[in-house]
A and B are shown apart, each in its own frame.
Chain A
C-alpha cells in the first residue's frame, strides 16, 4: 500500500509584483510504498526543495494533491498542521537544525515533549534509539561539543523517536565528511531495515546509491526512475551516474 501519493501537483511562484511567474513544479506524479527507501535526485532549480516543502506541509501546491496514508495534506487545517507534521513526519536536515540551548538528549526529546508524553515513556523510547545510533555516551553533550556526524545522528534520533509514517531527509549528508556520510547512510539502511519508510532528497550519487529506488526530477517533473533490483551499491552507483550523464546531455541537446 502507498504511504505517500503525489498526484498531479504543480507549484507556480509569482514574483512580488505579479509580473513574472515561475513554474517550480508541473504535473508531478509518484508514490512511495510503505517500508520503501526512495531517493529523489535533481540539479539545483529542478524543484527539489519546493517538492520537499510541499511534502513537509510547509508549503501548499498550486494544483494537485498530496496524500499521506490516504489523507490529503491540503485538507488539513492550518491549526492542525504542526501537530500533524509532528505526529506523522520526521525530518532530517542538511544543517542538522539542532537547538544550541538543548543537550542532545533534550533535542531528541523535543518532539515528544511537544506531544506531551510522560517522562518515563520518553526515556523508554530514547534508550534503544540512542543505542542503535551509537550516541548513548553523547546524550548529555551540547550540539557545539560534538562532530557533524554525531549531530546528524542526533537529528535522526529526533526524527524517528516519534515513530513517524515517513522520514523526509533533505541532503542529509550535505554537511558531512565522507566517513560521517558513510556512517549516516548505514544508519538509514538499518532503520529502513526495521521497516521505516524514508524519502531522501540528495545531490550525492553516493547517498542515492544506498536507496532502493531513485527518482530523477527535472524542470518540475519526474523524468526517470531507477529500481535497485538485485544490484549492489556499486552497480547502482554506476547506473545513477550514467543516467545523470544522459540527463545532462539531453538538456544540452
Chain B
C-alpha cells in the first residue's frame, strides 16, 4: 500500500514538474548556501585568524540571514505550489480518496522533496565549499591554504533546519486540505474576479510615505542623523512601495481608462484593462520584487564600493603611516618636544627606516555646547542631549602656521581667529565665560584636523579657535589635557613598517615617565590595512553571497508570477482570438503588458536607489569611505549588471509564459 502512495507521489511531482522543478532547485541551492555558510563560519581556521574577529561576526550574521531567507522563501514557494494544486487534490478527493490518503501522498511528496533538496544541497555544498572559502580568503587577504573538508556540524544543521522547515510546510499543507471541501478544492484556482476599486485614500497615503521617505533621504545632513533616519526612511519607502503597486497603479490606470480617446485604441484598450487585473493580482508580488531588487542593489553596490575603496579610505582615515596622540597636562616645553623628536629619529635609524614626513602640533580639544558666539562646556548642563553636542579645537598660531604652511598676521593678547565650516560673523566669542576678540576667520587648506567630526555633528557645531601662543593655549587646559599629535610617513615594506611601529610604541612607553604624559593612541596604517581588508572583504563576501541569494528569490518570484499569469491569461486571449484578434495582435498586447509588469519594479528600485544615494553616501562615511565618484560608479555598475541579469530572466521566463498562453 505504501509503495502505491509513494508511486502516486512520484507521478504527481513528475506531472507538476513545471512547479516542482524550480521548487527543488531552490531547495537545493538554499541547502547548499546554508551548508557553505555554516561550514565556513564553523571552520576552526577562522577562529585562529588574526584580526578583531569582525569576520566571525559577519559570517555568523550571514548564517542567520541565510537561514531566515531560506525559511521565508521556501514557505512562499510551497504556498504558491499548493494554491495551484488544489484542483488536483480535489479530484482525488472526489474520486474517492479520503483525506487521510491524500495526506499520505502529500507526506511522501514532502519526503521526496526533502531528500532531493537536502541531499543535492549537501553534495553541491561539499563540492563548492572549498571554492567559496578560497574566494572569501582571497577577498579578506588571508594567505592560509584550505584543505578539502566536510563539516559534520554543517551537514547536521542543514539536515535539521530543512527537516523542521519541510515538516512545518507539510503541516501547513495538511491544514489547507483539511479546511477545504472537495468542491472548494476543485475550484481552488478559480474564483470570480471583481474589478478593483480605485482607493484614493490608500494611494494618497502611499504617495505621502514615499515622498516623506525621499524627503528625509534627500535633506539629511550629518552621519548621525543619517543613521537615525535611515530606518525610518526605509520603512516609509517600503510601505509606500506596497501602496504604490497596490493602489497608486490602479488609480493611474483608472484615470487612463476615463480618457476615452486614449483608452479606445487597440493597443491601449487591451493593455490598460489587462493591467488593472494584473496589478490586482500581482501588486504584492511586484512590490516584493521591487524591494528585493533595491536590497540587492544597495547591498552589492555598498559592499563592492567599500572593498574597492579600501585603499582610499585607509588614506583618508590614516593620512600618516603612524599617527600618535599623547596627552600632556600643559603644552610641553621646547626641551621635552626636542627630546621626543630625537627619540623618534633614533628609532627610525635603528630600524633602518627613512622618514619622508614628520609633523607635530598641539591642540586642546573640548566637548562643548556651541550657541551663536557663546561656547560652554557640554558637561556643564546635564540636560544637553546628543544634538546639543559640539566640539572646540584650540591651537596656537605657530602650529596653525605649520599646518597651513604660511605665516599669518600677529594676534594680540586676547584676540583669536575662528574657523568653522560656515561663516563666523561675530566680533567677539565667549568661551567658558571669557570674552575674546575675533580678529578674523581662519581657513584650513584642504582638511581640518578631525574634519570628519563635522560630518557627525553638523557643520555649525564644530569650531576651531587659533590663539596667540602657548600661554593662551594653556589657559584651556585647566580641566582638559592638551593633545600632542605626531604624524610620521616612512618607506619600507609591510613587514618593515610593522616592525617600525612596534619599536615606536616601545619608545613612547619608555619616555612616558620621564616626560610625564599619557598615551592617547598610536595608529599604524599598515596594521589598519589588515583589519580593513578583513572587514571590507568579509562584507563584500556577505554582500555577494546574500545578493545572489536574494537574486535567486527574485528570479523565482518572477517565474512563478509568469506561470500563474499564463494560466489566467490563456482563457482571455483565446476569447480575443475568437472575436477577431490576430495572433500578432495578441502577441504584441501580451508583450506590452509583460514589459510593463517586468520593468516597473526595477525602474522603481533604481529610483529608490537614486533617492537613497545622499543618505547612503553619508552612511558610507561610518566605514571611512568618502569617495563619492567611486560610490556612484559602483552603484551604476551594480544596477547595470543587475538589469542585464533581470532582462535575461525576463526572456527565459516569458518563454514559459508564451507556451502557456498559446497552448
Contacts and interface: CB of A to CB of B under 8 A. Distances in A.
Contacts of B260: 119
B264 A109 contact: yes
Contacts of B273: 99, 101-102, 106
B580 A86 contact: yes
Interface string A81-112: 11101110101010001111110001001110
A101 B195 contact: yes
B197 interface: no
A82 B582 contact: yes
Contacts of B578: 58, 91, 93, 97
Contacts of B195: 101, 142
B265 interface: yes
A113 B579 contact: no
Interface in A106-128: 106, 109-111, 113-114, 116, 119, 122
B193 A100 contact: yes
A87 B266 CA distance: 15
A99 B269 CA distance: 13
Contacts of B579: 86, 91, 97, 110-111, 114, 158
Contacts of A158: 579
Contacts of A85: 580
Given A82-B583, A86-B580, A144-B194, A114 B266 contact: yes
B572 A101 contact: yes
A142 B197 CA distance: 13
B19 to A, nearest CB: 25
A18 to B, nearest CB: 22
A79 interface: yes
Interface residues of A, number: 29
A144 B195 CA distance: 10
A114 B580 contact: yes
Contacts of A98: 575
Given A101-B195, A113-B266, A144-B194, A82 B274 contact: no
Contacts of A87: 580
B92 interface: no
B369 to A, nearest CB: 64
Given A99-B575, A106-B273, A144-B194, A111 B580 contact: yes
A160 to B, nearest CB: 13
Contact of A113 (B194, B269, B577, B582): B269
A89 B273 CA distance: 25
Nearest to A82: B582
Q: Output the residue of A93, A99, A102, A158 with the most chain B CB within 10 A.
A: A99
B192 interface: yes
Contact of B264 (A97, A100, A119, A142): A119
A144 B572 contact: no
Interface in A186-234: none
A82 B587 CA distance: 14
Given A113-B266, A142-B195, A82 B577 contact: yes
Contacts, number: 69
B582 A116 contact: no
How many residues of B sit at the interface, in one of the four size bands?
A: 20 to 34
Contacts of A86: 579-581
Nearest to A56: B578
Interface string A156-174: 0010000000000000000
Contact of A119 (B261, B582, B585): B261
A100 B585 CA distance: 19
Given A113-B265, A144-B194, A101 B580 contact: no
Contacts of B583: 82
A93 B578 CA distance: 10
A16 B120 CA distance: 39
B585 A114 contact: yes
A82 B266 contact: no
Contact of A97 (B265, B575, B581, B582): B575
Nearest to B582: A82
A201 to B, nearest CB: 15
Interface in B168-206: 192-195
Contacts of B269: 106, 110, 113
Interface in B598-615: none
Contact of B580 (A82, A106, A122): A82
B277 interface: yes
A79 B266 contact: no
B59 to A, nearest CB: 50
A144 B579 CA distance: 19
A63 B584 CA distance: 28
B274 to A, nearest CB: 7
Interface string B265-279: 110010001101100
Nearest to B280: A101
A100 B276 CA distance: 12
Given A99-B572, A102-B273, A144-B194, A113 B580 contact: no
B576 interface: yes
A81 B585 CA distance: 13
Contacts of A58: 578
B572 A114 contact: no
A54 B579 CA distance: 15
A147 to B, nearest CB: 14
A83 B582 contact: yes
A108 to B, nearest CB: 11
B264 A122 contact: yes
B52 to A, nearest CB: 60
A79 B583 CA distance: 8
Given A82-B581, A119-B261, A99 B193 contact: no
B206 to A, nearest CB: 23
Nearest to B193: A100
A58 to B, nearest CB: 8
B277 A114 contact: no
B136 to A, nearest CB: 51
A206 to B, nearest CB: 26
Interface string A136-154: 0000001010000000000
B198 to A, nearest CB: 15
B526 to A, nearest CB: 67
16 contacts: A82-B582, A83-B580, A87-B580, A91-B578, A91-B579, A98-B575, A101-B273, A106-B273, A113-B265, A114-B579, A114-B585, A116-B265, A119-B260, A122-B264, A144-B194, A158-B579
Given A113-B265, A114-B585, 5 more contacts: A83-B582, A86-B580, A101-B193, A101-B276, A122-B264
Interface of B: 192-195, 260-261, 264-266, 269, 273-274, 276-277, 572, 575-585
What 6 A-B pairs have minimum CB-CB distances, sorted nearest first? A86-B580, A82-B582, A113-B269, A97-B575, A101-B277, A85-B580
